[in-house]
Amino acid sequence: MKSTVHFASTTLSLLVLAVNCLAQSDQKPDIEFHAPFLTPLADNREEFRDKYFFGDWRGERLKLAHRGIRFALLSITDPFGNVAGGKLHGASDYNLVGFGILVDSDRLLGWHGGTIHVGYAVNFGTSLSKNYVGNSFPVQLADVADAHPRLTYLSFTQDTFEGKVSVRVGRLTVNSVSHEEFLGSEYFKAFSSVGIDLVPLGLFLNAPGAFGYPDTTWGARFKFQPARRFYTMVGVYNGDPTLKDGTHHGLDFSMRGPVFLIGEAGFRRSYPKNPSSFSRNIKFGAYYNAGAATTFASGVAGQPFETERTRYGLYVLGDQVLLRWGDSDQNRHLGAFGAFTLAPDQHVNKLPYFFDIGLVAYGPLRHRPKDFAGFAVVYGSYSRDLQRVEEIQRNFSVGVQNFEMALEWNYALAIKPGFILQPDAQYLVHPNGNKTIPAALAIGANIVVNW
């Protein structure tokens, strides 16, 4: 076990060293690439053919797009098996189907800068993590919500001042499938583990008021980007965790929950003189989850029942292009990312320290420029206060939760436009932080189709 921790520490050190060595290069201000799936917007016939499994649907989809109506239909299928360790050996599949309509108010209604977004999703299947492995970082990408259909987005976005100001209101999430909201990096989308994909899972494990796709809540997000090198944004949401229950089907529109507040600032470098130069993004943020939280020690060994109302957290993340090869228009490159979240109050925060790091190679093979391969490490350290309570209670079926770690290796095959087949292996150390559960090996595939 010490060798595994040492390996993760060494990997982090190497990534930091590589990023620092390349930091002197000029950078591009925007993220230079997008994952080869999950992008719902297209404006011409070639883009539709390049992004969607069924292209532009014999021109009908293109006609709607020109009128300001775009829609996306995405399916994720995750057949995985736990072949060693964990609670139980076995296999399962978990699935997600999401549908969204985006209406350009300028093209359809003559209202400049507006976008209406309506979404729907359904999860179904059996979770490998819950039923076989017993870990807290779900193995399957689709394992982000319980098995129910639900309304997702119901929002309006207004961009003004030539895109420098953006306001979004309605049923929202702090993350996004198709672009970036808070705590996001395009590199995250290269992985199946929910510990990494879209945003680091540590945010949701410590803050019950944070909502991630496909669970949505009422909220508003304001973004200010005075220059392409810099932006700030803040979001305020109804942080009622009971709304995540799938039996509501996303139709409980009440606003009785405490406030969840999050803010972020991002920095990007100026345009490079040479298009082959390296790019880098750095983001800093903080969140506040209002509402009373019962401390872990409440009522244990004669301790009084106590609550705290000051749950908050900080985070930092970055990504960096390390190496480029091939034609510049193919954007084949090796990139690194890292993210760290800190939730200091160990009386109420389950995972006060959480980080993930990784490498992604886009177009590793010359004759398969749209394939990509990734390796990542996810680590979460459990609260010392929680550990003390578990030591007192001596529940041997649970044990004392120390840390949990997942290592993921994958290679994604771009079978055809809009169709990704991604063989994947994950080694899961201390599932749910419990030393009594043997380290597990999960092997399977992530199948993503952008119809």
Indicate whether 426 pLDDT > 90.
yes
What is the rounded average pLDDT for all residues in the chain? 85
443: phi then psi, degrees, rounded to nearest 5: -130, 135
Question: Residue 236 has what pLDDT?
Answer: 97
Confidence of residue 138 (pLDDT cuts 50, 70, 90): very high
Which tokens in the block code for residue 299? 């009522």
Closest CA to 296 of 165, 182, 385: 385
> Is 303 a residue whose pLDDT tops 80?
no
Residue type, 298: S
Helix intervals (H) in 167-265 = 202-206
| Average pLDDT, integer, range 186-201 | 92
In one letter, which amino acid is 13? S
Report in angstroms the alpha-carbon separations of 117 from 10, 155, 262.
43, 5, 22
Greatest alpha-carbon span in the chain: 71
Q: Which residue has the higher pLDDT, 20 or 220?
A: 220
Q: Average of pLDDT values for 233-249?
A: 94
**Position 290 confidence tier, pLDDT thresholds 50, 70, 90:** very high
pLDDT, position 13: 40
What is residue 83's predicted lDDT score, i.e. its pLDDT? 96
Provide the pLDDT for residue 10: 38
Q: Which of 40-49, 127-136, 361-370 shows the lowest per-residue confidence on average (mean pLDDT)?
A: 40-49
pLDDT of 368 strictly over 60: yes
pLDDT band at 446 (very low <50, low <70, confident <90, very high): very high
pLDDT in tens, 30-71: 333 344 444 555 666 777 777 888 887 878 888 888 888 888
pLDDT for the residue numbered 440: 96
> pLDDT value at position 34?
40
Identify the pLDDT of residue 12. Answer: 38
For each of the domains in the chain, give its residue range(s) and CATH number, in order of start.
2-450 (2.40.160.180)
Q: How far is CA 126 from CA 122, 138, 155, in A?
A: 13, 12, 31
Residue 426, classed as helix, strand or coil, is: strand
Predicted pLDDT at 5? 40
176 vs 84, higher pLDDT? 84
pLDDT at residue 43, rounded to an integer: 61
**Percent of the chain residues topping a pLDDT of 70:** 87
Amino acid code (one letter) for 230: F
* Weakest mean pLDDT among 108-117, 129-138, 313-322, 340-349: 108-117
Q: Which two tokens stand for residue 303?
A: 């301790």
SS3 432: helix
Residues of the chain above pLDDT 90, percent? 58
pLDDT at 20: 35
The pLDDT of residue 279 is 80
d(CA 169, CA 180): 16
